[in-house]
Homo-oligomer: A and B are copies of this chain.
Amino acid sequence: MKVGDRQYRTIWVAGDGRTVEIIDQTELPHEFVTRRLTTLEDAAAAIREMRVRGAPLIGATAAYGVCLALQDDASDRRLDTARQTLLATRPTAVNLRWALDDMAARLKPLAPAARVDAAYARAAEICDDDVAVSRAIGEHGARLIDEAWAKGGREAPVNLLTHCNAGWLATIDWGTALAAVYVAHDAGVPVHVWVNETRPRNQGAGLTAWELGRHGVPHTVIVDSAGGHLMQRGKVDLCITGTDRTTARGDVCNKIGTYLKALAAGDNGVPFYVALPHTSIDWSLDDGVAGVPIEERDPAEVTTVVGRADDGSIVAVRVTPEGSAAANFAFDVTPARLVTGLITERGVCPASREGLLSLYPERGGDAGPQMAAPGNDDKTG
């Protein structure tokens, strides 16, 4: 997507064909800083310190971390070290493990001398595949936006509401929920996005607003509490969010607060869509409320807010009294009954087992949830 006049991905190989560049997301929205990764340790640190985040981007960064590790020493031992080092950065991220397993499986059979080039080729392929998946999600989602525009007589802009950041910063390019916005916007459909700030980490205020602003998409930041009022007053045409894990029957586990917006959408007849690549479907699980453990993160994310002070410095300020406890539940589960449809790279389907199987018939061989399929535990929002 665009940053100013230039087209960016979240990760790319530098002009030297070897070092890797990333956008440092810890500096956003206040500074746009790119960083060069030249060693395995650089790549591991970028993931660990959340300079890169979002499941697909973490996987891609790990793949490039393997490339960087092998440059001087492409031995089996070095490959193992790289794998262990990178795996330890965010142990719950399924895409991280998947990317590392994939790289190892492809490189191990090769002679060490052939590994470096093969590694770079495969890492690039992982990125390109992700971009294609995101782009396809965007095209399917954009059709829904265009339909909403047509419904309004192709006059007023389509008002969307989104939560957290399911944009290109969480992937390699395009994003998931925001891919639909970008495809529609680029095709000339007038869109306006209500951006939930998404406490406590403010990924909406900090990342989604930044993305949309740089790409020129009209948007307005609101507090997470405002969506219900906006829907009640007819100011939202449709909601689109991402998801961290979707169960086989269409329950959606996403950033805390998604459930409340889905309730408001249901109460006001506003369509509520969830955009996802197939890799976020957990075919082993049906009941999201009963089955998905909700990560509790550091309460300091609730009690303190990080932002830019008037003097330009980045400061953390405490908003609660000394002595008051805080709790930080990172995700919630939106039951499938509240989800109008799932937008995947293969199309849009109802949020149900039948709906998902209509797009992924190869999963239909089993009577019930499959225990063998990999779940997606990635909580990397």
Contact = CB atoms under 8 A, between A and B. Distances in A.
Interface stretch (A71-79, A93-101, A116-124, A205-213): A205-213
B316 A221 contact: no
B324 A221 contact: yes
A249 interface: no
B259 A229 contact: yes
A113 interface: no
Contacts of A206: 319-321
Interface in A293-349: 294, 302-310, 314-321, 323-329, 331-333
Contact of A321 (B29, B315, B316, B331): B29
Contacts of A205: 303, 319-320, 324
Interface string A201-233: 010011001101100000111111111111011
B260 A332 contact: no
A373 interface: no
Contact of A220 (B221, B261, B294, B327): B327
Contacts of A222: 302, 326-329
Contacts of A321: 28-30, 206, 209-210, 213
Contacts of A221: 302-303, 320, 324-327
Contacts of A261: 260
A274 to B, nearest CB: 16
Contact of A318 (B294, B308, B327): B308
State the number of copies, please: 2
Max chain B Cβ within 10 angstroms of own Cβ: one of A195, A257, A328, A331: A257
A259 B220 contact: no
A323 B213 contact: yes
Interface string A247-268: 0000000011101110110010
A199 interface: yes
Contacts of A30: 318, 321
Contacts of A244: none
Given A228-B257, A232-B332, A307-B318, 11 more contacts: A28-B321, A199-B224, A209-B324, A213-B321, A221-B325, A223-B257, A229-B259, A229-B329, A309-B318, A315-B315, A315-B317
